Amino acid sequence: MALEWLRRDNELKDHQLFDNSHFGKDAPTVVYEERPVIDDKGQAVAGLFSAWIWLNNPSQYNSYTTEMVKGVIAGFQKASSDRRIVAVVFTAVGDKAFCTGGNTAEYSAYYSKRPNEYGEYMDLFNAMVDGILNCKKPVICRVNGMRVAGGQEIGMATDLTISSDLAIYGQAGPKHGSAPDGGSTDFLPWFLNMEDAMYNCVSCETWSAYKMRAKNLVTKVVPVLKKDGQWVRNPLVRTDTYVDDGEIVYGEPVSKEQAAKAKELMAQCTTDFELLDKAVNDIVWKFSNLFPHCLIKSIEGIRAKKKFFWDQAKLPNRHWLAANMNHEAWLGFNAFDAKKVTGKDVIDFIKYRQLVAEGAVFDEKFAEQVLAKPKG
């Protein structure tokens, strides 16, 4: 060759920042798995993989502990810098939840009343969201169950969402002592219209996967229930019509009478993620047949709109959320964590507002008046 005299080093470099110490198998942990890319004939493609990052804490609805946050950061960096990886699939173990946010047991027992410690935790959380938004591979959120609170926030940081039709979506912060400032206040207005984003953020209602598909939060919704070999769409949600008596009803809950029958039907079904996994694999195969650098540049161009507002707000939000651990978060997270003892997972909001109206000092006496008492 004409340029043989130029110096070349052809030994591949290792760009990994982390070893595998942040991954595990036993809950609570994060599992990192490589799966072969599957072609349109159902065959594995040699040398190409998708990276599956699993939240594994099903007994606590896949809420992420501090150590799990580190695992997600490590997982996305590992996948991002691996030449063999075509796409990342962010998902969770079990059939009940993708993620319900931060681990409230940890929040209440350790982080409440320790605002500096929670600030350090928020630095990790922000790095987790940044790791998703900055991943140099397309990121698919495989939603196997409820995606709520912080789970909704990290889910919206991904590029595409493929959802079980049993999944629900929403926020919980204002009900439990926080604000959805881990991404929802930044991302939701891009997905939903401003009115829907506002209501979804503050109402603490959960919306069905079908409703969120109609409102453009998710890419695809598939059934996961099976009876006698036939797929059964979520019978708790209306999918048979779009408008009824002038109201949009698609994706809304069925009536109480229908819900009782729906639960009987669901008890006769099994849960099967075959269609969910096929939909994910189909998208990975589609990505595989595109120029990789053109693909990620296109994705980065769309991500930039989400990142703009995320980057503007993440540090002020970090400081407020940390300070709030001395205030409403202290009450809200402890009320939620103590629900098995008290039978109630929220404070007495009316009493709280009455005390605020009186100018009462926010101290333990204040807290005692608004927290539920232990049963018995």
- 204-244 per-position pLDDT tens digit: 999 999 999 999 999 999 999 999 999 999 999 999 999 99
Q: Do 118 and 78 lie in a common domain?
A: yes
Distance CA 76, CA 18 (A): 10
27 and 95 inside one domain: yes
**Residue 146, both tokens:** 């409820």
pLDDT at 13: 94
What pLDDT is recorded for position 15?
A: 94
pLDDT digits (tens, 9 = 90+) for 57-78: 999 999 999 999 999 999 999 9
Is there a contact between 156 and 182 (Cβ–Cβ < 8 Å)? no
Q: Do 115 and 50 share a domain, yes or no?
A: yes
| 332 part of a folded domain | no
Please tell me whether residues 188 and 252 are part of one structural domain: no
Residue % of the chain over a pLDDT of 90: 98
**Is residue 126 domain-shared with residue 96, that is, in the same domain?**
yes
Once rounded to an integer, what is the mean pLDDT over residues 308-330? 97
Same domain, 219 and 86: yes
Structural domain boundaries, residue 354: 343-376
Cβ neighbour number for residue 96 with a 10 Å cutoff: 17
User: The CATH number of the domain where 205 resides is what?
Assistant: 3.90.226.10
> Is 192 inside any structural domain?
yes
160 and 286 in one domain? yes
On whether residue 310 sits in a domain, the answer given is yes
Q: Is residue 336 part of a domain?
A: no
Domains identified in the chain, total number: 3
Residue 25 CA to residue 45 CA, distance in Å, equals 26
Percent of the chain exceeding pLDDT 70 equals 100
- pLDDT tier at 348 (50, 70, 90 boundaries)? very high
Examine the domain organization and report whether 54 and 88 are in the same domain: yes
Q: Does 348 fall in a domain?
A: yes
More confident residue, 2 or 94: 94
Q: What pLDDT is stored for residue 42 in this prediction?
A: 96
Q: Is residue 306 part of a domain?
A: yes
pLDDT of 1 > 80? The answer is: no
Judgement on whether residues 135 and 214 belong to the same structural domain of the protein: yes
Q: Same domain for 154 and 207?
A: yes
State residue 2's pLDDT score: 85
**Does some domain include residue 337?**
no
Q: Which H helix or E strand runs over 271?
A: strand 270-271
Question: Considering Cα of 207, then 211, then 215, then 218, what sign does the dihedral take?
Answer: positive
On whether both 231 and 298 belong to a single domain, the answer is: no
CA atoms within 13 A of residue 74's CA, in its CB half-sphere: 20
Q: What is the DSSP letter of 69?
A: H
**Co-location of 28 and 141 in the same domain:** yes
Q: Residue 203 — very low, low, confident or very high, per pLDDT cuts 50/70/90?
A: very high
121 within a domain of the structure (yes/no) = yes
